């Protein structure tokens, strides 16, 4: 059960509510976000919802049978949208593309990608400065100085930034330079990181774990939300299966299923989802048709020379064609 509290509820009224909940066998967890104030009530005993709904300080009350509560669609009629400012909005009828290299490499590279994005009406650039690599000898990113450079160039052109944060300790330094924090697949259940991002006001995109279930992804989002941050996006990026013909198994089903289970926007990452350049476009289009609110994809001026993930990265001509087809697919879906 979710109880939405009145804006100016007093500590005394909250205490009264807590003791009423204890009386009916429920445990109340108070959650205050940038938008609202809630009491998340955990318990199993049946009770008359009106006995809580009529109490002082209660704005609204919702029965939620899902094990995750705040991210469940069961209580929220409207889809959540993520407003990044300057008319860049993701979700609830707003489709966005996020594109850019796997890794931020140099100012020349960022300038080149930004020019390409601007020419194609793409408002959000992706690029990692902290790279989780399987081998410690691979390129691991330019770090905070690279992020400052990335931000300087993007902000001069009105382009938003999504980039991965790997550790709680990196958050404060990154905060001024990031529009969306990406939590990578390898950190999908780093609960300390999720707690800490929940205490910020920045949008957070959670990638599905390498072998993560849909429920685990939703629980990860519940961590962020219950710490106070409602600005969450979920990302399907493929999972590990028995299939070895491609990098990951892009779970298109999950996109449709997530749209059913949660009010949060869903992003598809076909680049990591299949890991093969020539199939990124069809997988992107399938993702849009399945319900994705945004697509994130790897794009580089010269994919063959990319510092990481070149094999799944599109060049500008391929990317341009894919943007057009994704937008057309989105129109078709919404028609
Ligand atoms: C990435 O986006 O470059 C990345 C490392 O993604 P993932 O965490 O999905 O592997
Ligand atoms: Mn990558």
Please report the pLDDT score of residue 242 as a whole number: 98
Give residue-wise pLDDT tens across range 130-167. Answer: 999 999 999 999 999 999 999 999 999 999 999 999 99
In the CATH hierarchy, which fold is given to the domain comprising 2-62? Alpha-Beta Plaits (3.30.70)
235 CA closest ligand 1 atom index: 9
SS3 of 114-137: the string is HHHHHHCCCCEEECECCCCCCCCC
What are the structural domain ranges in the chain? 2-62, 82-334
272 CA closest ligand 1 atom index: 9
Q: Does residue 310 have its Cβ closer than 6 Å to ligand 1? A: no
DSSP symbols for 238-262: -B--S--SSSSB--HHHHHHHHHHB
Q: CB of 308 within 8 A of CB of 133?
A: yes
Enumerate residues 6+ apart whose C-beta is below 8 A from 119: none
Q: Does residue 102 have its Cβ closer than 6 Å to ligand 1? A: yes
Tokens of 213: 């279930």
Tokens of 325: 């087809």
Q: CB of 112 within 8 A of CB of 301?
A: yes
Q: Average pLDDT, stretch 37-54?
A: 94
Closest C-alpha among 290, 289, 268, 278 to residue 321 = 278
What distance in angstroms lies between residue 202's CA and the mean position of ligand 1's atoms? 19
Give residue-wise pLDDT tens across range 95-129. Answer: 999 999 999 999 999 999 999 999 999 999 999 99
For residue 169, name the pLDDT band (cuts at 50, 70, 90): very high
Q: CB of 114 within 8 A of CB of 97?
A: no
Its pTM surpasses 0.95: yes
Closest C-alpha among 290, 312, 310 to residue 302 = 310
Please report the pLDDT score of residue 275 as a whole number: 98
For residue 287, name the pLDDT band (cuts at 50, 70, 90): very high
Please report the pLDDT score of residue 78 as a whole number: 96
Please report the pLDDT score of residue 115 as a whole number: 98
Please report the pLDDT score of residue 23 as a whole number: 95
What is the sign, positive or negative, of the torsion defined by CA atoms of 90, 92, 95, 100? positive
Q: Average pLDDT, stretch 212-219?
A: 98
Phi, psi values for residue 305, rounded to 5°: -100, 5
| Ligand minimally distant from the alpha carbon of residue 296 | 1
Note the CATH number of domain 82-334: 3.20.20.70
Identify the H or E element spanning 171: helix 171-174
Q: Average pLDDT, stretch 308-332?
A: 98
What distance in angstroms lies between residue 81's CA and the mean position of ligand 1's atoms? 23
For residue 273, name the pLDDT band (cuts at 50, 70, 90): very high
Q: CB of 246 within 8 A of CB of 217?
A: no
Q: Average pLDDT, stretch 29-38?
A: 98
Other CB atoms within a 10 A radius of the CB of residue 112 amount to: 16
Domains 2-62 and 82-334 share a fold: no
Please report the pLDDT score of residue 177 as a whole number: 98
What distance in angstroms lies between residue 183's CA and the mean position of ligand 1's atoms? 8
Q: CB of 150 within 8 A of CB of 104?
A: yes
Q: Are strands 180-183 and 37-42 parallel, antiparallel or unpaired?
A: unpaired
Give residue-wise pLDDT tens across range 172-214. Answer: 999 999 999 999 999 999 999 999 999 999 999 999 999 999 9
**Mean pLDDT, the chain, whole residue set:** 98
Nearest CA to ligand 1 atom 9: 185
Please report the pLDDT score of residue 40 as a whole number: 98
What distance in angstroms lies between residue 4's CA and the mean position of ligand 2's atoms? 40
3-state class percentages of the chain: helix first, strand second, coil last, to nearest 5: 40, 20, 40
Enumerate residues 6+ apart whose C-beta is below 8 A from 273: 236, 237, 238, 248, 250, 283, 287
Enumerate residues 6+ apart whose C-beta is below 8 A from 194: 183, 206, 220, 223, 224, 227
For residue 85, name the pLDDT band (cuts at 50, 70, 90): very high
Give residue-wise pLDDT tens across range 259-270. Answer: 999 999 999 999
Please report the pLDDT score of residue 303 as a whole number: 98
């Amino acid at each position: 059960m979710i109880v939405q509290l009145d804006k100016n509820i007093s500590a005394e009224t909250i205490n009264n509510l807590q003791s009423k909940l204890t009386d009916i066998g429920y445990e109340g967890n108070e959650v205050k976000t940038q938008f609202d104030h809630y009491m998340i009530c955990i318990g199993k005993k049946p009770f008359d919802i009106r006995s809580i709904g009529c109490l002082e300080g209660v704005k609204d009350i919702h029965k939620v049978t899902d094990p995750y509560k705040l991210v469940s669609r069961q209580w929220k009629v409207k889809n959540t949208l993520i407003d990044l400012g300057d008319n860049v909005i993701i979700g609830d009828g707003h489709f966005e593309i996020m594109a850019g290299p796997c890794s931020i490499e140099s100012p020349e590279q960022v300038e080149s990608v930004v020019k390409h994005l601007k020419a194609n009406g793409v408002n959000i650039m992706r690029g990692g400065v902290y790279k989780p690599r399987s081998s410690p000898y691979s390129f691991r990113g330019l770090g905070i100085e690279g992020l400052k450079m990335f931000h300087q160039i993007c902000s001069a052109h009105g382009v938003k930034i999504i980039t991965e944060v790997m550790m709680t300790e990196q958050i404060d330094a990154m905060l001024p330079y990031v529009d969306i924090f990406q939590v990578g697949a390898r950190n999908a259940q780093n609960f300390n990181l999720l707690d800490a991002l929940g205490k910020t006001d920045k949008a957070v995109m959670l990638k599905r774990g390498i072998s993560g279930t849909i429920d685990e992804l939703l629980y990860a989002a519940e961590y962020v939300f219950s710490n106070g941050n409602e600005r969450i996006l979920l990302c399907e990026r493929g999972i590990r299966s028995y299939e070895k013909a491609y990098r990951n198994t892009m779970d298109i089903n999950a996109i449709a299923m997530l749209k059913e289970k949660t009010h949060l926007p869903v992003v598809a990452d076909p680049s990591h989802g299949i890991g093969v350049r020539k199939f990124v476009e069809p997988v992107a289009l399938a993702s849009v048709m399945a319900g994705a609110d945004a697509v994130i994809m790897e794009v580089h001026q010269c994919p063959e020379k990319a510092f990481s993930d070149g094999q799944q990265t599109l060049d500008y001509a391929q990317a341009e064609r894919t943007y057009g087809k994704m937008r057309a697919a989105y129109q078709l879906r919404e028609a």
